Amino acid sequence: SLGLPPRVKLVLLGDSGVGKSCLALRFTRGVFDAGCRATVGAAFSSATVTVPGSTASCKLEIWDTAGQERYQSLAPLYYRGAHAAAIVYDVTERRTFAKAQHWLEELRRYAGLTMVLILVGNKTDLAPQRQVAEEEGRHLADSIGAMFVETSAATGINVAEVFEGVASRLAGGMPVS
């Protein structure tokens, strides 16, 4: 392995409302704020991440869209130099899963194919409202060569796995799933 870069740029992609900002807040601050859409104006946060089972660590710079995903397309600056992308959908909104493919295509247009990708199905705490099965997410992830995890920013389940998984893959380690 070439080793983990000291600073890793991770971009968050996915439709408005899927929970990108809440996932970043949960990971970097350890909290869930149901009103985080309003309270998290910041488009940027960072945290030190240690690769599970090793001493390797990096500074993970998390780029959030600050609402620009409403315009269907993000500026090239957003993607420039990114090492990794997390494509997030909401397991209770099937149309956000369909849109994951759109975000992947945009990513390829701007960033090529070398980036580490992880597909994230968020809001698993809302089990009665689920519209997308875990197997569907895993199948899409396999088809695009991405890692896959289902999360809840509300409960915190699997949220660290998103960011640690990216660091682990960049360090040349095993994927999380």
Kindly state the tokens that stand for 144. 């695009």
State the binding partner of 19 from ligand GDP, Mg ion, none, CB within 5 to 8 A by kind: ligand GDP
| DSSP 8-state class, residue 176 | -
Of 52, 102, 106, 126, the one binding ligand GDP by CB under 6 A: 126
What string marks each residue from 128 to 157 as x (binds ligand GDP by CB under 6 A) or -? ------------------------xxx---
> Residues 22 to 81: which contact ligand GDP by CB under 6 A?
22, 34, 36-37
Q: Which CB, 4 or 87, lies closer to Mg ion?
A: 87
Residues forming the site for Mg ion (CB under 5 A) = 20-21
Helices 159-170 and 20-29 pack at an angle, to 10 degrees, of 80
Q: Which CB, 9 or 123, lies closer to ligand GDP?
A: 123
Distance, CA of 59 to CA of 25 (rounded, Å): 16
Sequence-distant (≥ 6) Cβ neighbours of residue 92 within 8 angstroms? 123, 126, 129, 130, 131, 132
